[in-house]
Amino acid sequence: MRRNAPMEASSMNEINRDRYKDLDDRIGHTMRAIRLQKGLQAQTVVDRIGKSKDWLYRLERGGSWSLYNYMTVCNALDMGSADITRLLNELIEAHHLQRAYPPLYPANP
């Protein structure tokens, strides 16, 4: 009998799926908020990427975010690599701590 046998791949996939459930929604919501805060129209962003507005809107509504999609949108939003890394860390930490999503439109002072 092997000690410390590696987990089955399917078990690990299930754990990760549960652990990161709804993270796509959090990323999409946050990226839309950043785009709006920067005053960028969706068309401007997708022109930089070479994709359609439907593609961007699907992601912003919680579509499947791959690392490639995340990096592509961040670059189109003129974010530097340090900001991209910091934001991803904050998103994952906020997700694990179940913090509320950032407000889409900041409250008036």
pLDDT digits (tens, 9 = 90+) for 14-63: 766 666 667 888 899 899 999 999 999 999 999 999 999 999 999 999 88
* Span 22-96 CATH architecture: Orthogonal Bundle (1.10)
> Residue 106's pLDDT band (boundaries 50, 70, 90)?
very low
pTM of the model: 0.72
Q: Report the amino acid identity of residue 7.
A: M
- pLDDT (0 to 100) of residue 108: 41
Does pLDDT of 83 surpass 50?
Answer: yes
- pLDDT (0 to 100) of residue 36: 94
- pLDDT (0 to 100) of residue 105: 46
Q: What is the DSSP string of 64-83?
A: ---HHHHHHHHHHTT--HHH
> Helices in 1-109 by DSSP H: which ranges?
9-19, 23-37, 42-49, 53-60, 67-76, 81-96
Residue 65 CB partners (closer than 8 Å, separation 6+): 23, 24, 27, 28, 59
The domain segmentation of the chain, as residue ranges, is 22-96
